[in-house]
Amino acid sequence: METKPCPFCAYTKTRIESWQANTNDHHWEHAVTCENCGACGPSDLGKSGAIEMWNMRRTEFPNTTERNADEQSG
């Protein structure tokens, strides 16, 4: 699965960071990181989930557009 460019600096090279979620279990968390500015996306227990969340943009989150309209008008 391809990653979108960094939402902060538009750099196209990213990497997946992985770390053990808890030293007492065997779960690993993963997150996409920009190789230019170091921005880090949300973590997920699966690499594909981390990529999917990295690829989401603010306008794709539920209720974000409505919330922004309310903030600007009031």
* Domain spans, the chain: 1-58
* Fold topology of 1-58: N-terminal domain of TfIIb (2.20.25)
Contacts (Cβ under 8 Å, ≥6 apart) of 10 = none
pLDDT tens-place string over residues 3-55: 999 999 999 999 999 998 776 777 899 999 999 999 999 999 999 999 999 99
Q: Kindly indicate the confidence band of residue 1, based on its pLDDT and cuts at 50, 70 and 90.
A: confident
Q: How far is CA 44 from CA 4, 36, 69, 72, in A?
A: 17, 22, 30, 32
Would you state the pLDDT for residue 35?
97
Distance CA 74, CA 68 (A): 10
pTM of the model: 0.72
